[in-house]
Chains A and B, each alone.
Chain A
Amino acid sequence: ETGVTQSPTHLIKTRGQQVTLRCSSQSGHNTVSWYQQALGQGPQFIFQYYREEENGRGNFPPRFSGLQFPNYSSELNVNALELDDSALYLCASSPDPNSPLHFGNGTRLTVT
């Protein structure tokens, strides 16, 4: 049973809209990482937060932003949605940046 939960499980949005995806990490896990997994591909690193501060970012534009809260929850926000943003968004937590990840089951976002 995973200790990382994500909501919603599925979401359909229209191009140009904004979306917020949520993640609840395991208690005690101070690090949360977000990944985008397009259909048929491996996950790509979006960014990581450690103790509520951004701690590294992948090759994603600024319209992808995040927040991490003291209660081990976090958000991924995407503005001005594009068709190519359609993907499975995975949240993963770990006790610290140098520990292995525990993934949630993801949010499937479809942009039409």
Chain B
Amino acid sequence: TQLLEQSPQFLSIQEGENLTVYCNSSSVFSSLQWYRQEPGEGPVLLVTVVTGGEVKKLKRLTFQFGDARKDSSLHITAAQPGDTGLYLCAGADTGTASKLTFGTGTRLQVTL
């Protein structure tokens, strides 16, 4: 059984601070996706990383896929209240980008 563990589980920070969320597994994935989910809504895809060592940036968010494709990180610079939400990583096997193994989630709260 593939498992993805995220850390930390909860994070409460003030506006302007930086943070990093980690997603770790003992399994290799062909790709890894990051989602943000807000209360009462479904997850929304932020990014997909495919190549080991790949780094992608989305405005203030930086995503990295580990060299061995077993782990990933999400770094947010100068967090804003709009970044508040549940961040989920999800791994996919080859040819099955839609059959995902989700992580345990990191709940982020950014206050003024």
Chain A contacts to B: CB under 8 angstroms: 2, 4, 31, 33, 35, 40-45, 48, 56, 58-59, 90, 92, 94, 97-106
Contact = CB atoms under 8 A, between A and B. Distances in A.
A98 B94 CA distance: 8
Majority DSSP secondary structure for residues of A touching B:
loop
Contact of A100 (B40, B41, B42, B48): B48
Closest 6 CB pairs of A and B: A103-B42, A42-B102, A43-B102, A94-B98, A42-B105, A98-B97
Interface residues of B, number: 24
Majority DSSP secondary structure for residues of B touching A:
loop
Interface of B: 1, 4, 6, 33, 40-45, 48, 88, 90, 95-105
Contacts of B96: 56, 97-98
Contacts of B102: 35, 42-44
B104 A101 contact: no
11 contacts: A33-B98, A33-B99, A35-B102, A43-B88, A43-B100, A45-B99, A98-B98, A99-B97, A100-B98, A101-B45, A103-B43
Most buried by A among B41, B48, B103: B41
A58 B96 CA distance: 13
Nearest to A106: B42
A101 B88 CA distance: 14
Given A41-B104, A94-B98, 14 more contacts: A2-B42, A40-B105, A42-B88, A42-B104, A44-B102, A56-B96, A92-B42, A97-B96, A97-B99, A100-B45, A101-B97, A102-B45, A105-B42, A106-B42
